[in-house]
Amino acid sequence: MSEEIKSHLFAIRTTGGQEKVVMRLLEARANANKINIQSVLLVSNLKGYVVIEAINPSNAYMAVEGIRHIRGQLRGELEFKDIEGYLVKKSTVSQLAVDNVIEITGGPFKGMRATITRIDPDKEEATVVLLDASYQLPVTVDANYLKLTSESLSKD
């Protein structure tokens, strides 16, 4: 019978824009001082925070003590479900549907609105018809460059 080891997750508040610096400093301190922390996560949607994973909470406190750009910590612990949505990259294609109105966020058609006419989940691409063009021009675009507009979201 193997006992499951529970990790503790802590959100550490940093100076805005310094998350990567703090992450590197924590990593270096953990390696140099042999502090047992499992990981330091940089969550792109969580500005001003890094997440530390440690089996022993006192190791997390030792790791952050005196590090530049750390402004404190959220009280208590995070649950895995709190950050799970940030860790699992959802396929952009899975969130799209034919007839959705989208905005193109990259490439030569950046900033244009379009309607999806076909989706190819295997290639992570969608064929769209540009709404702003003077005639119907089907264009195949990488799905990562597509963002649902509020028009599509309000239809649901």
| CATH for 74 | 3.30.70.940
Q: Confidence class of residue 132 from pLDDT cuts 50, 70 and 90?
A: confident
Q: Confidence class of residue 118 from pLDDT cuts 50, 70 and 90?
A: very high
Give me the pLDDT at residue 152, please.
59
Give me the pLDDT at residue 114, please.
93
Burial of 4 (0-12, 13-18, 19+ CB in 10 A): exposed
In a domain, 16, yes or no: yes
Q: How many domains does the chain have?
A: 2
Tokens of 53: 């994973």
Give me the pLDDT at residue 156, please.
46
Under a CB-based contact definition with an 8 Å cutoff, are residues 92 and 113 in contact?
no
Q: Which of 60, 87, 114 is the last residue of a domain?
A: 87
pLDDT at 18 over 50: yes
Same domain, 102 and 77: no
Per-residue pLDDT of 35-56, as tens digits, reads 888 888 887 777 888 999 998 8
Tokens of 100: 């959705």
Q: Which of 66, 87, 108 is the last residue of a domain?
A: 87
Q: Confidence class of residue 30 from pLDDT cuts 50, 70 and 90?
A: confident
In a domain, 2, yes or no: no
Overall residue count recorded for the chain in this entry: 156
In a domain, 14, yes or no: yes
Looking at the DSSP assignment, which residues form a beta bridge with residue 96?
Answer: none
Give me the pLDDT at residue 88, please.
63
Same domain, 13 and 74: yes
pTM: 0.54
Same domain, 143 and 117: yes
Give me the pLDDT at residue 151, please.
67
Helix (H, G, I), strand (E, B) or coil at 51: strand
Tokens of 1: 């019978």
Per-residue pLDDT of 92-103, as tens digits, reads 788 889 999 999
- CATH code where residue 116 lies: 2.30.30.30
In a domain, 3, yes or no: no
Q: Region 72-91: what's the mean pLDDT?
A: 77
How big, in percent rounded to 5, are the helix, strand and coil portions of the chain?
A: 25, 30, 45
Same domain, 15 and 32: yes
Same domain, 77 and 23: yes
Q: What is the domain range of residue 124?
A: 93-155
In a domain, 81, yes or no: yes
Question: DSSP assignment, residue 78?
Answer: B
In a domain, 1, yes or no: no
